[in-house]
């Protein structure tokens, strides 16, 4: 069974967003976590969270942050949960079919990675600046759609890390095209000379208030608890950026590249924070 992951911003974002009502609590069961600032308890992979109810809903959903489960509120599966539940396993849940449970839990992380790739590629496909590689992106999307449509046993044989590496080259090229176009457009950078940062930059707690970060390559940067208030991040590549507790109040992230809902959920923002139309303003933002 195939999935029509289209390149329309509204349609692809809807198809690749989590729908917990159609999922069998896979993120609450398949994935492990340790007691920390993000989770109140330890949980092993394949072990149901103590807060998971019989109907696969969270029993403390409204109080997750208050009870020490902030990590749950920032997670996003890009729609992989409902795909595994309703497409791969055709609605057979792991409680009623315990013989499928382990396989379902093993498939879920692989499906999550493929759905994440679909999110990024579809976004790149909406950028006219990357038109010269749109055909390559469409072929990669078609191949990824084929992979997510495989049966569980076949999917586990796929070299997902290898495919991610291939797709990442396309995403990098799209990023370069978008950012180069933006840099040509910028004639008078705010504050004169603009700072540049390497991939994976350590910017934990950095004071970047009002910074001009347009078209910056911030891939994999650590911006934990950084002050990005009123910063301009338009056309910046934000794939893999750690925004945990970063202050994004008043920041402009509209037109940024590869921003995910999970990143937004982990940060702090307000009504003045500008975000891409494919994302939802987190409920905990002021």
**Distance from C-alpha of 62 to C-alpha of 64, rounded to nearest angstrom:** 6
* Predicted confidence (pLDDT) per residue in 70-125, tens digit: 899 889 999 999 999 999 999 999 999 999 999 999 999 999 999 999 999 999 99
Tens-level pLDDT at each residue, the chain (286 residues): 344 555 555 567 678 989 999 999 999 999 999 999 889 999 999 999 999 999 999 999 989 989 999 899 889 999 999 999 999 999 999 999 999 999 999 999 999 999 999 999 999 999 999 999 999 999 999 999 999 999 999 999 999 999 999 999 999 999 999 999 999 888 655 555 566 777 889 999 999 999 999 999 999 999 999 999 999 999 999 999 999 999 999 999 999 999 999 999 999 999 999 999 999 999 889 7
Q: Which domains does the chain have, with CATH numbers?
A: 9-27+75-180 (no CATH), 190-286 (2.160.20.80)
CB 112, CB 50: distance < 8 Å? no
Phi, psi of 226 (to 5 degrees): -75, 150
- CA 22 to centroid of chain Cα atoms: 19
End-to-end CA gap in the chain: 42
SS3 for 104?
helix
Tell me the whole-structure pTM to 2 decimals: 0.90
């Amino acid at each position: 069974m195939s999935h029509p992951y289209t390149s329309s911003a509204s349609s692809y974002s809807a198809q690749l967003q989590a729908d917990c009502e159609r999922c069998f609590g896979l993120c609450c069961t398949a994935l492990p976590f340790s007691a920390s600032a993000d989770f109140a308890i330890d949980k092993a992979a394949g072990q149901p969270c103590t807060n998971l109810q019989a109907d696969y809903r969270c029993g403390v959903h409204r109080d997750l942050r208050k009870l020490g489960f902030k990590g749950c509120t920032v997670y996003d599966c890009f729609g992989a949960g409902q795909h595994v539940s309703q497409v791969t396993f055709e609605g057979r849940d792991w409680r009623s079919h315990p013989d499928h449970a382990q396989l379902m839990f093993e498939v879920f992380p692989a499906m999550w990675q493929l759905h994440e790739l679909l999110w990024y590629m579809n976004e790149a496909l909406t950028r006219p600046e990357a038109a010269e590689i749109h055909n390559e992106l469409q072929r990669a999307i078609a191949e990824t759609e084929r992979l997510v449509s495989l049966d569980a046993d076949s999917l586990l044989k796929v070299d997902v890390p290898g495919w991610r590496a291939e797709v990442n080259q396309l995403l990098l090229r799209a990023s370069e095209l978008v950012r180069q176009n933006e840099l040509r457009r910028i004639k008078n950078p705010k504050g004169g000379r603009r700072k540049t940062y390497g991939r994976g930059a350590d910017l934990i707690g950095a004071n970047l208030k009002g910074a001009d970060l347009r078209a910056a390559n911030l891939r994999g940067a650590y911006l934990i608890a950084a002050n990005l208030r009123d910063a301009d991040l338009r056309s910046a590549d934000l794939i893999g950026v750690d925004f945990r507790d970063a202050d994004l109040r008043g920041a402009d992230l509209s037109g940024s590249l590869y921003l995910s809902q999970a990143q937004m959920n982990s940060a702090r923002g307000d009504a003045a924070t500008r975000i891409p139309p494919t994302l939802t303003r987190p409920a905990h933002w002021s």
